[in-house]
Amino acid sequence: MSLKIANVQLNNNLILAPMAGYGDVAFRTLCKDYGVGLTVTEMISVKGLLYQGKKTVEMLKLAPNETPSCVQLFGSEPDEFYKVIKECRELDTFDIIDINMGCPVPKVTKQGEGSALMKDPVRAGKIVEACKKATSRPVTAKFRLGWSENTSKEFTHVMQESGADMVTVHGRTTEQLYRGESNVEAVLSLKPLLNIPLTISGDINEHNLDRYKGADGLMIGRGAIGHADIFSVIRGGEKEEIYPLIKKHIKYMQEYFDNEHYIVANMRKHFAYYLKRAGVKGEDKNRVNLAPTLKDLFVVLDDIFKS
């Protein structure tokens, strides 16, 4: 299926979720290679952009194949969203502005940001309105079913009335974090209430797609870690061999990050998923995680995968 978000047309309805610590430009590039329709940056702090924090600005780096592109912003003050969209030139290259109203991590929600906004739908609506006032580009919102109970119908209404061009709903409450099963039925029940696209997230993989029929878009996060080829598989393609996938991922890391120590350390998070998928465990898994340099890492990986 294709998906159109206001005036932005995607090639298909598959979206890579914004994932803190995982969704950097290298991983997004990899997912685009395997046919994802839209990639979303890691969540970017509005305050960080206002103060032009170096690390925050660096997270806005885009790959040549990220077309169209989407940036996800988080914060709690409508006027700050307005100001950063108007004044931060680094945001000009993005085709879509997404607002994070679903992050359940306490260090975010304690600041009234992320999914804490679901407890204040008036403020959440004003943020969408401020973003729409600041730009003619599509503005979308990602949120959960609610804080402790399902309040998604009321919140979805506020989002649509405030001008959101698409909503993405994760089928868990904030208090659930990522525990239990995603409530797909509750998310799909929102579809008749909307005249804008509904994208669903939570527990999607290539084996359970029938559960999500009725949604306009599918946003995949954890299911893509170590499995960037999931987007190709869903679209009828073949699975990639795991070692070529790893090598391509590392190649992109080298292209975008000029720091070998950072690359090796960052890849360890992804190796937890790659190695599990490959059935690599025990001493071999330890050898991968203890490799101090890229040269050492490839020696270990060659030994594991070529044997």
User: Would you say residue 54 has pLDDT above 90?
Assistant: no
Looking at residue 189, its pLDDT comes to 97
The set of catalytic residues is 103
Q: What is the mean pLDDT of residues 166-190?
A: 95
Q: What is the mean pLDDT of residues 199-218?
A: 96
DSSP character for 17?
P
Q: What's the rounded Cα separation, in Å, for the pair 198 and 200?
A: 7
Beta strands, E only, the chain: 3-5, 8-10, 14-16, 38-45, 69-74, 96-101, 139-146, 166-173, 198-201, 217-220
Q: What is the pLDDT of residues 244-273, one digit of tens each?
A: 999 999 999 999 999 999 999 999 999 999
Of residues 211, 95, 75, the one with CA closest to residue 201? 211
Q: What is the mean pLDDT of residues 27-56?
A: 95
User: Would you say residue 175 has pLDDT above 80?
Assistant: yes
Q: What is the pLDDT of residues 270-300, one digit of tens each?
A: 999 999 999 999 999 999 999 999 999 999 9
Q: How many CA atoms lie within 13 A of 143 on its CB side?
A: 33
Q: What is the mean pLDDT of residues 71-82?
A: 98
* Percent with pLDDT over 90 in the chain: 96
Of residues 75, 85, 81, 86, the one with CA closest to residue 109? 75
Q: What's the rounded Cα separation, in Å, for the pair 258 and 176?
A: 38
As given in the structure block, the two tokens for residue 49 are 């952009």
User: Would you say residue 307 has pLDDT above 80?
Assistant: no
Looking at residue 109, its pLDDT comes to 96
Q: What is the mean pLDDT of residues 18-47?
A: 97
- Most distant CA atoms of the chain, gap in Å: 59
**DSSP-based helix, strand, coil % in the chain, nearest 5:** 45, 20, 35
Q: What is the pLDDT of residues 116-152, one digit of tens each?
A: 999 999 999 999 999 999 999 999 999 999 999 999 9
Looking at residue 146, its pLDDT comes to 96
